[in-house]
Structure 1
Amino acid sequence: MTMIALTVNTRDISADVEPRTHLADFLRDKLNLTGTHLGCEHGVCGACTLLLDDAPARSCITYAVACHGARVTTIEGLDDDEITTELRAAFAREHALQCGYCTPGMLVSARDLVLRMPSADERDIRVGMSGNLCRCTGYVGIVRAIRSVIEARRQRGVASIVGAGRTLLGPVGSGHGNMSDSRARVAAKTTVGQPPATSDSAISIEDFSPEHVFEQSFVVLHRPADVFDFFGNIPAVAACLPGASLSGVSTPERTEGTMQVRLGPIAARFKGAIRVERDPAILSGRIVGVGTDQRSRSFTRSEIRYRLVPDEQGGGTRVLLSIGYSLRGMLAQFARPGLVSNLTAAITADFARNADRALSGLPSDGGACDNASLNFVALLGNSMRHKLRRFFRGRRRGENE
């Protein structure tokens, strides 16, 4: 998988794609922009035509990874476009469509002709539209519709634009689009799995919908208010989390750092950032994070929602967790949901134990989170070791009684 960043219909998009994925498939399957139609899939029929860096291009033979940093406009992005609006009305008036399958590509190509043709010459229109095939209309209505729009615009004093305003040579999608400084940085710096940076060089943390969600809970023997205050201390929380370390200056709302993890044969070091949201009124919070491991070419987004409630049985506080994540790259081949669920349970147990000790003013007990990476086998073994220790302590306590 390869991470690409591009602009689609004025929206900044970052996504993982297979290197073999064509732009048309990416738009239809990943972004649900199904107005881009697939016909021959050989670049002949023109049904898949869209604008790439403002130039008409065949999306069925263009690789999505080749469009990194480019500006893509599909037929959906032309809803409010003045020329396209006039062309749609003309197509309807001149009966320039029947089944409509070729129409999105026709409109995109026709728009380019309206922009740059100085006069409505029928021969030039037929030559200009020769790359768009129609099996229904016989083309007469299509040519008539385009001619009528060109004539009407020239009569209104709207002049043609030489080259449709394109001033740079080179293949479309090659990065010649007018990107903002921040988008240019993305195009220059983003590598496989790397989240885009914002204009102040900070890692962008956007909301997302997790692909997998797990529910966890644990109890600490401290008051909910104290636990909530502790959760607001990011350095203290990171010190109790296996494999975590902070970099730079932390604020109550945001911090950056790394997380080391080992799943199967792969060791990864995710570098990223988290955003913290807290609601003191209901003692709840949300932590959204992104991270990239360059070595394994993996990228992850995670979300932790927590709520603190009094523990009715043993006193203290029950921490209710909802943990969601999405993972791309090599690690995704190993990190099956069942494995991640078990790993999450082991991490939660280790964090709960260390958080309880931190709240009590005690040092860590030497568990897996002392400057170690997240190793599933080690964490699971550590968890089993503590469970057995508690079991035998309970038995000895029962025998003494």
Structure 2
Amino acid sequence: MNTIELTVNKRSVQRAIEPRTSLADMMRDTLDLTGTHLGCEHGVCGACTILVDGVPTRSCITFATSCNGAAVTTIEGLDDDEIATELRAAFTREHALQCGYCTPGMLVSARDLVLRLPEADDKAIRVGMSGNLCRCTGYVGIVRAVKAVIEARRARDIVSEPNAGRTVLGPAGSGHKSCTVSQKLAPAAAIVTETAAIAPLVIPDFTPSTVMEQNFTVAHPPAKVFALFDDIAAVASCLPGAALTGTPRPERVEGAIRVKIGPISANFNGAARVERNDASLAGRIIGIGNDQRSRSTTQGEIRYRLLPEHDGTATRVELAIGYSLTGMLAQVGRSGLVRDLAARLVAEFAGNLDRRLSGDTTSAPSTAADLNGISLLFGLLRARAARLLRRISGRGDAT
């Protein structure tokens, strides 16, 4: 057991605790301050956020012993706080809470933003609150509430506090300790814009979480199709929603692709590398991209193989499309949606490729690949009906 001393909500506290005890568990189990909520217990959801030496801290992943001598403020300690009082009223007014489980952590993080931001900026508020997750509200009311408090305080000539009084870098709870001049807190870096480059210098290999197969046939010999596949710009011009943003090289192709699923649109900026096997008329394209608006990341891999048909006068293009998707779009990127979108992309790509091979260079698409919501619903219903018929007929379920 270790004995530590803390100032918790302006009261001196001394307790003997085990070294492995988290700060959240100490607040809840030892001090009965149950306003600090535990959600993921991995430092992701933000429900456990409290102030340690005035800095918002994930208390579920902070050892209590590492905060020895620090000043800790939980949501209970903000009862009479001016900013927290204004935020509570704004949260009620803007319907920024429902079940309320995330609200204590939200209020602590929001209070820090009200202190630091010089003006009410939607994007800065969303970035600042991005570490606090809510499964109820949709965040719109939360942003409005924080924005309203900032606007009201700035209208009363209450200026922001740069870095909210922070003067040192280091782990949460270390603010009460001395530091060298080199540790002084530097000015905050500017927020990365949506058009900034986000792709890594090296395009990594990966194992796709989902793989699907598609194929199509074009009325041109394999050698001609394979030669066109070596023209990266020409291939990109055949893909709906795709655009190159730099000079393409096989080892690195920079670009973007825009997709639209009903009311949801995403613009993935990133890079890819291209591999070819002349002997087998096969190749691979592997890439990574980010959508800044939804903070979603995708990795994708397309393997292709060209097979002769009709005595070599036509080509069957076999595709294996693999991907992994993380972030907000992963919640709507179910296999049925993605398969429908992929089928439409491949169909349009095949038609554009055939026209390009025939010498027509005026029909390249420029708009986003669009997945209509109504047609998607009918597509999913057809797929489920087909699976049901297979079960009834005893042929098994589709993979």
- TM-score by length of structure 1 reads 0.46
- TM-score by length of structure 2 reads 0.46
Between 1 and 2, higher relative CO (CA 8 Å, sep ≥ 6) is seen in: 1
